[in-house]
Amino acid sequence: MRILSYNIHKGIGGRDRRYRLERIIEVIGREEPDLVCLQEVDRNVRRSRFEDQPRILSRELDLPHLLYQMNFHLTTGGYGNLILSRWPFASHHQVSLRMNRRKPRGAQLVVVDSPAGPLHVVNWHLGLVERERRWQVEKLLAHRLFREADSVPSVLIGDTNDWRNMLGQHVLHGAGFQQATLPVPRFRSFPAWLAMGSLDKAFSRGAVQIEHARIVRTPAARVASDHLPLVLDVSVQG
């Protein structure tokens, strides 16, 4: 099973600032993922031509099962997280991770009914401040909707904004999660044109094996967004 995580920056190139959703579709499509976890996805926003990006991405990538979470509301529409899947969801939930009056953030929780068995996947986009991120992760780990899937093999993935690589050691390892995106220098994903920060991370727990993990560094990926995509090849152990 292939999982791809990508902060698509609303379909706007990181350097040329042009809205070209087709570039995002090309980058993702070349990787042929079964499950896609996206951050900063627009719906009905002027800058992205008032397009329904979740529906367009689902159709063009031929991933029929989708779950959209609009975290940040604008005058018209807004943006947030999106999960696309080749297989249906046995369950799905969306959790707010907003801390006080900081920018709204969120996490999507799905159990994917894959041919290899159920897989619990969390797609999240965390805050810019270290204290905020730690609070968000601790809130999610304690949330009853997250704990409902404690017995299911799990993958946490997305844009963590964790420049100092603190979340694994200080929070997630204690909850039984192992970081798939190590060593850190191999997983630099931001900014896309000269990647210095390993912001896009993945963690796993339980009977799930990370066969291979990598950052997509194609020429197309370097211009499509301000982040590079993260790809995991995983197997669920029976």
Q: Would you say residue 135 has pLDDT above 70?
A: yes
> What is the predicted pLDDT for the residue at 145?
97
H helices present in 36-154, as ranges: 53-61, 130-142, 144-147
Second CATH level (architecture) for the domain 2-236: 4-Layer Sandwich (3.60)
Which phi and psi angles does 116 have, rounded to 5°? -85, -5
**116 exposure class (CB count in 10 Å sphere: 0-12, 13-18, 19+):** middle
Q: How many CB atoms lie within 10 A of CB 33?
A: 24
Q: What b/e sequence results for 4-24 when a residue is b if at least 16 CB atoms lie within 10 Å of its CB, and e otherwise? A: bbbbbbbbbbbeeeebebebb
Q: Is the dihedral of CA 219, 9, 63, 116 positive or negative?
A: positive
> What is the predicted pLDDT for the residue at 137?
97
> What is the predicted pLDDT for the residue at 17?
95
105-119 pLDDT, tens digit per residue, is: 999 999 999 999 999
Helix, strand, coil % in the chain, rounded to nearest 5 = 25, 40, 35
> What is the predicted pLDDT for the residue at 202?
98
Residue carrying the six token digits 């397009």: 51
Whole-number percent of the chain with pLDDT over 70: 100
Q: Would you say residue 22 has pLDDT above 70?
A: yes
Contact, 167 vs 139, CB < 8 A?
no
> What is the predicted pLDDT for the residue at 152?
97
79-100 pLDDT, tens digit per residue, is: 999 999 999 999 999 999 999 9
Q: Would you say residue 238 has pLDDT above 80?
A: no
